[in-house]
Structure 1
Amino acid sequence: MTSWHGTIGTRERLAPLADIAHEAVMAEKLLTRAQIVQLQVLARAGQLAEQQAGDSPARVQAHDMALRAIAAELGGLMHLTDRAVQRRITRARTIVEDYAASLAAWRAGSITRAHVDIIVDAGAELPADIRLPFEAVAIQRCRRDTPNRVRAEIEMLALRMHPRTFTERHQDAAAHRAVRLVPGRDGMSDVVATVPTVIAEGIHDRLTRQARAIIDTRTERSSDVVDTDGRTIDQVRADVFADLLLAGTPALDDTRDATAGPLGAIRAHVQVVIPALALSGTEVPCDLVGRTPIDAATARRLAGDTPSWERLVTDPVTHTVLAVDTYRVPPPLRRHLRARDQHCRFPGCRVPAIRSEIDHTHDHALGGRTERANLAHLCQRHHSMKQFTAWKVRQLGGGVLEWTSPLGRIYREDAPTPAVAFAPARRKPHTHDPAPF
C-alpha cells in the first residue's frame, strides 16, 4: 500500500514536468516548420533575382542589382538591413538547392538546424559529385549525437573526401584572408584577422614574448613605472598589438627607411562626434560613427593630441557648430553634410559618411543642383542600387529622405539625431522695426 501511494505521489509531482516537456517538443516542431518556410521563401527571393536578370548582357551585374533591390524590400518588412537579408537569401538557396536531404532530415525531426549548418559549412568546398555522398554519411552521423560532438568528425569527413590535397585548398583559402572589426560593448571592439595558421601562431607568439619582456623588465625601470604598470599579460599583449599596427611600418613599404612614404605615411582615419560637454571634462559617451560609442576620455585624447584628426565640436543644447577643422573643397557644405548625415542615408545602413559618397538626390546631369537640399551620403552599395534598380528617393527638406521601394512601400529616413544645427544669430529689435504680424 505504501509503495502504491508513493507511485501516485511521484506521478503527481512529475505531471507538470511532463506538460512542460510536451510543450517544449511542440514548440520546437513549430519553430522548425517556421524556419523551413522562411528558408524556402528566401530561396525563392534569390531565384526571382536570377530570373529578373534573365539574359541581360551584363547578367552578373543585373543579378546583383536585382538581388540588392529584393533584399532591401524584404529588409524593410523584416526590420533588417538589406545586407543581412542578402546573406540570409544566399544561405537559404544553398540549403534548399544543394542540401535537400539535410533539409528533409531536419523537417522530419531527426536532426536540428545546428546539424544542418555544420553539414553545409563542412561541405562548402566539396565538388557537387562528392557533396551528395558526403551529405548522406554526415546525416547518419548527426542522427546519433549532438551538434557540438559531431562537428569535428563532420569536418574531418569533408577533408578526407575532398579530391584535392589540403595544401592546394590551403592556397585557395589564403586568398580569402581578411581583417574584420566586430563592435563590442562599453567602447570596446574585436579586431579579427583571418590569416594562415602559421602566421597567426607567429603573431601570437611574438606578442606573447614582447609582453613577457615588458613585464619581466618592470623592475629595471623607474619605480613609478613599477608602481603604475600593473597590466596583466593579456592587457600588455593587446597594447603591443595596437602599438605595432598603429605605429609600425608595413614590411613591403620600400620607403620605410625614409621619414615619409606612400605606405608608412598612411594613418588610421575614423569619424567621431564629440559633444562639447565631453571636451569640458564631463563623462558623456561619444559616437564613433558607424560603429559604437567610445568613452569621453579616449575622445578627449584623440581630439587634443592628434593634429591629423578632423574635429567637430557641437553645443549639446543648441547643436550649433562651435569649431571644425579645415577640410577639403567645398569645406562648408561637405562638413555640414558629414555632420548632418553621419552615415549612409539608406534605411538601416550604418556605413560612416567618411566611407560613403555624396550623392545628388536629383541627378546633376538632369538638372539637380549642388546644394544642401539635394545632397546626401550613400555608401557605394546603395549609391549603385539607387542608380540601377527601381528604388527611388526624394528629399522632403530638413535632411529628411523618402525612399520608395519597387513595391511602392514608403520608408522615411530622418537625419540622425543632430550632431550639429545651424541657427541664425538673433539680433535685438530696433525701436523703428515694424511690429510682427
Structure 2
Amino acid sequence: MFGCMTTATAEPPPLGLPWSPSRLDIVWVGAERPRELSSWSDEQLAARLQGVQRQRAIAAAEEAELILALAGQRPAAADPAPDHPGARRAGWTAQPGDGEVSEFCTAELATVLNVGRGTAAKRLTRALVWRDKLPATFAALKAGELDERRAAELAEKLEHAPADVAGRVEDALLGEARDVSVTGLGKRATELLLRFDAAAAEEARAEATKTADVHLYPSAVDGHAVLAVDLPAEVAAASHDLIDQLAQMLKADGDERPIGQLRTLVHTALVLHPADNGLPLVAANLTITAALEALEGGSTPGEVNGLVITAAHLRDLLARLGALGLTAPDGGSLTYAITGPDGELLATLTPAELARLAKRGCSEHPAGDCGCALTGPPPATDRYRPTERQRAFVTARDRRCRFPNCGQRVGANDIDHVIAHACGGATDCANLCCLCRSHHRLKTHARGWRFVMAPDGTLQVTTPSGVTRTTRPPGVRPPPARPPGEPPRAEAEPPPPEPADDPPPF
C-alpha cells in the first residue's frame, strides 16, 4: 500500500539541536506496491516528485545542523597558537568560521562525508550563514517549504553581508523565493544588498578578491581540462576581449580553424610564452604516466599531471616529445617507473640505469631466464630528509596528495613521515607519502587523527570522530574480496603518538 499524510512534530529531535514544531510529510510503502510507477497518473508522479524535493530540503537542513554540531566540538582554540611553529599563516587561505571553528574541521568533515575539501568548506560555510544570518531561510528549509538550491543561493550571495543587512534582504525575498528561478533569486539578492548597504557589497567584493584563485578541472572529454580564473568582472571582460581580438586577427589573416580554438591557442601562447611583462621566464613541468601496453598500441589510458588522457593521445604526446625513443625534453628529465602485477611501484630508474641493469643481468643466472629482482625501492637513510632517489620514488608512486579526496598534485606536496621521525619512524619509502601542506599540517598538529600506511603505499586515515578512509597509490589495485566465512585480516599496528612539534618545513 502507498499513501501519504501531513502531521506536525511533537517531540524535539535528538542531539540537543535547535528545534521548532514544523510540518512533516510522511510517505509509507507497504510490502508490495499495487502498481508499477509506469501506471501512476501524471498527478501522482508530480506529487511524489514534489514530496522528494521536500524530503531533500529537510535532509539538507538536518545535515547542516549535524555539521554545526560537529563544528561546535572543534573550536579554533584547539589550533596551534599564532606564535607556534605549526600555526596557519595569516592570509594564505580563507577558512570557514575563522576565529570560531578549527581550521582542521573542514578536513574532518570532508573525510566524514567522503567529499573534497572545497565541497566540505561550502557546506560548513552555508550552515554557518543559515544559522547566523538567515534563520528564517533555515526554518523554511527545515520545514521543506524552501528547496536546498534556493536556500544555498541566498547563503552564497549574503555570505559576506552583515547579519542585519542579510536579514533585511531575507525579509524582502523569502516570501517570493519559491516562485523565482535560482538565478533570478541570486540576482535579486545582489540588487537588494547593493540598495541596503553598498559598503557591505564592496566589502563582499573585496573578500571575493582575497579568496580568488586559478583552478584546474578535468573536462568531460578525455585529454582536455578546464583552466578557470576567478577575476573581478572588469578584468575578466578585458582579458577575454584581448584574447578575442588576437583570435579575430588570426582569422582575418586566413586561419580557417574555429574561432573558439583560436582563442584557446592565443590564451596558451600568452601564458606559456610571456613577453615584455616583467615576469621571469619559467618552464612548465609535466609528469607523464604511461603503461608499456599503451606505448605498444594498447588502450590503457595514461595521465599528464594527474589528468587522464587516452592511449592514442598519450602516444601522440610522447611522439611529439621525441618519438618512442623517449628522450628527455630540453631542460627536463625522463624516469621510468617499474610496476608489479598489481600496479604497485617497484622501482624508478633513469634510462641509463635501466640500460645498465638490462646489460648486467643477474650474476647467478647469466642465461637471463630467472626471476631474481635486479632493483627495488631506494634504501632507507638515517637522515631526516629523504634522499633524491626516495623523493623520486615516492612522488612517482603517489603522484598527488594522499589524503582522502585531495587531488593536489605532487609538485605542491611535502614528503611526510607517516610515523614521525622523532618517534622512531624510518626515512624509508614504506614510511613516506605525499601530503599537501594543509594536510601535512593537519597530520602533525591536529588532535586525534590516525595515519597508518602499508608497505605498498596504501594509506588509512582515521578522523577524531572515528571515520576511516583508505587511499591507494594510483594504479594499485585493491586486494580481492574476502570469501564468505573467512576471518578478517589483522589490522596494521597503530603508529606511536606524534610529537608536539615536527621538523621543518614547519
**TM-score > 0.5, shorter chain as reference:** yes
In the aligned structure 2, how far is the partner of 1:107 from the partner of 1:187?
Answer: 43
Separation in 1 of the partners of 2:444 and 2:80?
20
Deviation at 1:283, TM superposition (A): 5.7
Q: Give the aligned partner of residue 391 of structure 1.
A: 449
Q: Select between 380-389 and 71-80 the one with higher mean Cα deviation.
A: 71-80
Q: Distance in 2 between matches of 1:74 and 1:164?
A: 33
- Give the corresponding residue for 1:187: 223
User: Does 2:286 match 1:270?
Assistant: yes
Cα pair 2:348 2:396 within 8 Å, conserved: no
Aligned-pair CA distance for 1:240: 1.0
- Does the Cα contact within 8 Å between 2:337 and 2:347 map onto a contact in 1? yes
Partner of 1:340: 397
Whether 1:22 aligns to 2:47 is yes
Cα displacement (A) at 1:64: 8.7
What do the CA deviations read for 1:7-26 (whole angstroms, capped 9, x no partner)? xxxxxx99712221222232
Contact in 2 for aligned 1:278/1:300 (Cα 8 Å): no
Asked if 1:89 is matched to 2:124, the reply is yes
Q: Deviations over 1:148-187 (max 9, x none)?
A: 4433222211111114287776556544443222221212
CA offsets 1:271-301 (integer angstroms, 9 cap, x no match) = 2212234445656421134444363145315
Aligned partners of 2:76 and 2:103 also within 8 Å:
no
- Contact 2:215-2:227 at 8 Å conserved across structures: yes
1:252 corresponds, among 278, 294, 299, to 278
Tell me if structure 2 keeps the 8 A contact 1:283–1:297: no
TM-score by length of 2: 0.66
Q: Which residue number in structure 1 is paired with residue 232 of structure 2?
A: 196
Report SS of the residue matched to 2:251. helix
1:236 maps to 2:294: no
Q: What whole-Å deviation, never above 9, does each CA across 1:94-116 have from its counterpart, x for those lacking one?
A: 21232111112333444322222
Q: Does the 8 A contact of 1:274 with 1:313 survive in 2?
A: no
Is the CA contact 2:348–2:392 (under 8 Å) kept in the aligned structure 1?
no
Matched, 1:42 2:77: no
Question: Is this contact kept in 1: 2:402–2:433, CA < 8 A?
Answer: yes
Distance 1:97 1:298 in 2: 54
1:73 CA displacement = 4.4
Structure 1 Cα separation of the partners of residues 248 and 200 of structure 2: 39
Q: More helix by proportion, 1 or 2? A: 1
Match of 1:221 in 2: none
The C-alpha deviation readout for 1:216-242, integer Å capped at 9, x for no partner, is 222xxxxxxxxxx64111111111111
The 3 A distance-change label for structure 1 pair 174 and 399 is closer
Of 209-218 and 64-73, deviating more is: 64-73
For residue 451 of structure 2, give the secondary structure of its aligned residue in structure 1. Answer: strand
Larger radius of gyration: 1
Which ranges in structure 2 are unaligned for 5 or more consecutive residues? 1-37, 89-97, 323-327, 353-384, 478-506
Aligned partners of 1:274 and 1:314 also within 8 Å: no
Cα–Cα, structure 1 residues 377 and 145, in superposed 2: closer, same or farther, change >3 Å?
closer
Does the C-alpha gap of structure 1 residues 297 and 162 become closer, same or farther in structure 2, counting only changes over 3 Å? farther
Query: Counterparts in 2 of 1:299-314, with a 5 A limit?
Result: 299-300=317-318, 303-304=321-322, 306-314=329-337
1:31-57 CA distance string (max 9 Å, x none): 222111111111222222127639977
Deviation at 1:76, TM superposition (A): 4.0
Aligned residues: 387
User: Residues of 2 paired with 1:267 and 1:68: CA distance?
Assistant: 34
Correspondence 1:60-99 to 2 at 5 A: 67=102, 69-99=104-134
- Which residue does 1:8 correspond to in 2? none
Deviations 1:326-360 (A, max 9, x none): 9x983322221112222222233222222211112
Aligned partners of 2:175 and 2:317: how far apart in 1? Answer: 55
Distance 1:329 1:244, change over 3 A: farther
Relative to structure 1, the CA distance from residue 372 to residue 128 in structure 2 (aligned partners, 3 Å threshold; closer, same or farther) is same
Aligned sequence identity (%): 22
- Give 1:400-419 correspondences, 5 Å limit: 400-418=458-476
Deviation at 1:79, TM superposition (A): 2.6
What one-letter code is carried by the residue in structure 2 that aligns with 1:96? R
Q: Is the 8 A contact 2:72 2:101 kept in 1?
A: no
SS, match of residue 397 in structure 1: coil
Q: Counterparts of 1:103-182 in structure 2 under 5 Å? A: 103-164=138-199, 173-182=208-217
> In the alignment, is residue 207 of structure 1 matched against residue 233 of structure 2?
no
C-alpha separation between the residues in 1 aligned to 2:403 and 2:100? 15
The Cα offsets for residues 244-289 of structure 1, whole Å up to 9 and x where unpaired, read as 1111146233xxxxxxxxx12x122232212234445656421134
Distance 1:348 1:147 in 2: 29
The residue aligned with 1:222 is: none
RMSD: 3.7
Distance 1:163 1:322, change over 3 A: closer
Measured in 1, the distance between the counterparts of 2:464 and 2:213 equals 35
| Equivalence for 2:482 | none
Deviates further, 392-401 or 402-411: 402-411
Would the alpha carbon gap of residues 356 and 113 (structure 1) be closer, same or farther in structure 2, given more than 3 Å must change?
same
